[in-house]
Amino acid sequence: MNRVPATLVLADGAEFEGYAAGYLPSTGVTTGEFVFNTALSGYQEIITDPSYAGQVIAFTYPHIGNYGVTPLDEEALRPWCSGIVARDLSDLPSNWRSVGPLEGFLVQHRVPAIVGVDTRRLTRHLRRHGALPGAFGHGDPAAVESAARTARGTDGTDLVSLVTTREPYQHGEGPRHVVALDYGIKTTMVHQLARRFRVTVVPATFDADAIRALGPDGLFLSNGPGDPAALDAQVRVLDELIGTLPIFGICLGHQLLARSLGAVTYKLPFGHHGSNHPVKDLVTDRVEITAQNHNYAVSADALGRGQVSHVNLNDGVVEGIAAPRLACFSVQYHPEAGPGPHDARYLFDRFESLLTDGVLEAQ
């Protein structure tokens, strides 16, 4: 396939060459915060994860798109990422589930891409210097460089208001009702909850009174994009609800719950993005391989009313907290695992037990 040459420039001046792919914006330039993902498969789920809003995903696995795309693997109605970077983008998908090539999906959803990039060099640079804003595109290289200098990262940015649902909706059946606050919820999370509960997914703008009016037996706090320190309004809602009903949080929901319990959050150098991160459950001493997607983390120094329940075995980052007396717990990683291993799906059962028995127990 003949492709137009393109340039990738990071805010610190690092430059990479490649070719334009996917959707070609009329400006010829795309900006965002560059992060890398180490998953070997699951590219469609990754691209459609709303937690990537405002970011450009660089895939470390060199061959992307070889099994095509299917609506069954979409984690949201549309991708929210700013763009993708790949070494090689396959134009010959081969899989019985495929309904078309990845590039057609990118074009349909207006997601720009740059391919042919030395993603090993890019990944090493981001590991050394941290996640960086930047730009890429097929436009004038000088325009790409200029855009890179003014590109913004995710610090201090509320991206939840961009991705949250505009109207409540329901899934599942069952005797117990869970309200899920949508900070950028993934479809697989909704499915896991709906297997156990009647679920009402509500916008992140719902206040405590609106949530209580729905009469929930429990509250679920979803994943989402951006800086948790920019979401004071959402934390104030949790301040009113903690201790009044069981709460389970994942990823951004974990960070917001931790803030409400007295903790502070901080930005990791290059984040955790992939489906192969080892985490230890301090309650059971079990080690599980987890899927992760976060740039921010919870500090263990000022956890207030909570306690650390899970830790990352690579770097010691807090991966879970619990406050049994307040009937709430959360994890930084993604137990629903779309994509990734299913080692941690027991946490949804733990939430069910909390609603059933009123006790936060290990599974």
Q: Which residues are catalytic?
A: 251, 334, 336
Pairing of strands 328-331, 15-22: unpaired
Structure tokens at 119: 């993603």
Q: How far is CA 51 from the centre of its chain?
A: 3
Closest C-alpha among 220, 250, 225, 291 to residue 45: 291
Contact 135, 149 (CB under 8 A): no
Distance between CA atoms of residues 351 and 353, nearest Å: 5
